[in-house]
Structure 1
Amino acid sequence: MTESRSKSTAAERGKPQTADYRALANFRYALRQFLAFSGDAAQSVGLTPQQHQAMLSIIGAPEGQAVTIGFVAKRMLLKHHSMVELVDRLVELNLVARQQDAADRRKVLLSLTPKAKRLLTRLSAAHLQELRQIRPVFADLLERLDK
């Protein structure tokens, strides 16, 4: 009987409580607010949210990572051909440059232009400030996960 009771207690611990639902709801709401803010900020400088995200993926790649269309497509959860179209548009806007990899001429590496870096500086400063404002919601959820 003790074994049965400990099993049900363990199962009960995994069951979400009202406070868990509230924390999840607040978390999703904060995410949606952040994404809406991000989309508006990108559009205010003439970018689509996907263009902004692609540029962030390029500049924020791990050190030593070859920044290729395949890499950025994976980071953005897009198919390769969709990423090619997005990069083509960024090249047309003078925001991304393509360059053959010197070590492997089959690879095309992506980099940001100075114009793109200036736009990202502005956008990222605003995004970091927004994240600081919604930080308590994220902290609350993470604290609930430790209980």
Structure 2
Amino acid sequence: MAPTPRKLAKKDFEALSQFRYQMRRFERFSERAAQGEGLTPQQYLVLLHIKGVPGRDWASVGEIAERLQLQPHGAVALVTRCEALGLVQRRPSETDRRQVEVHLLVEGEKLLSRLAELHRAELRSLKGVFDVPQIDLPDAS
């Protein structure tokens, strides 16, 4: 029989609240930074996730949808808008013609680099803020 987790204490709720507050502050910073460059926050995230796919320089629409926690049709619409802005380009896969790869274009790379630098500086300013103490949460079962 598993030990019963302890009840959450006031300090646990304070830590969770502080974590969520700082997370939201960073998210709001990110939204404003993207808007300052003429992008929606989700368009910025499309660029980021394309560049952030491990081991290659493109992403599938399905991968973008997963990273953004969207339905595939929502990711398609975002990619279409980014494509219209000249930031990305869809290309058929050279290895599997059924798959479409979404690549960053030069303008998308430049914009992403500017925004990523702003985000890195903001993250450095938050160093230590996200050190949340261990909280024993009850099992989901």
Tell me the TM-score normalized by structure 2.
0.88
Structure 2 vs 1, CA of residues 88 and 129 (structure 1 numbering), >3 Å: closer, same or farther?
same
Q: Could you tell me whether the CA contact under 8 Å between 2:50 and 2:57 is conserved in 1?
A: no
Q: For each residue in 1:78-136, what CA deviation from the matched residue of structure 2 results, as whole angstroms up to 9, or x when unmatched?
A: 11111111111100000001111011111110110111111111111111111122222
- Once residues 47 and 85 of structure 2 are traced to their aligned partners in structure 1, the CA distance between those partners, rounded to angstroms, is 12
Q: How many residues get paired? A: 135
Residue 123 of structure 1 aligns with which residue?
A: 115
Task: State how 1:1-147 maps to structure 2 within 5 Å.
Answer: 10-11=3-4, 14-64=6-56, 67-139=59-131, 141=132, 144-145=133-134
Which has the larger share of helix? 1
Residue 4 of structure 1 aligns with which residue?
A: none
Structure 2 vs 1, CA of residues 43 and 145 (structure 1 numbering), >3 Å: closer, same or farther?
same
Amino acid in the other structure paired with 2:134:
L
Please say which structure displays the higher CA radius of gyration. 1
- Once residues 95 and 65 of structure 1 are traced to their aligned partners in structure 2, the CA distance between those partners, rounded to angstroms, is 14
RMSD (CA atoms): 1.9
- Once residues 26 and 20 of structure 2 are traced to their aligned partners in structure 1, the CA distance between those partners, rounded to angstroms, is 10
- Once residues 125 and 102 of structure 1 are traced to their aligned partners in structure 2, the CA distance between those partners, rounded to angstroms, is 32
Amino acid in the other structure paired with 1:21:
F
- Once residues 146 and 81 of structure 1 are traced to their aligned partners in structure 2, the CA distance between those partners, rounded to angstroms, is 38
Gaps in structure 1 of 5+ consecutive residues: 1-6
Gaps in structure 2 of 5+ consecutive residues: 137-141
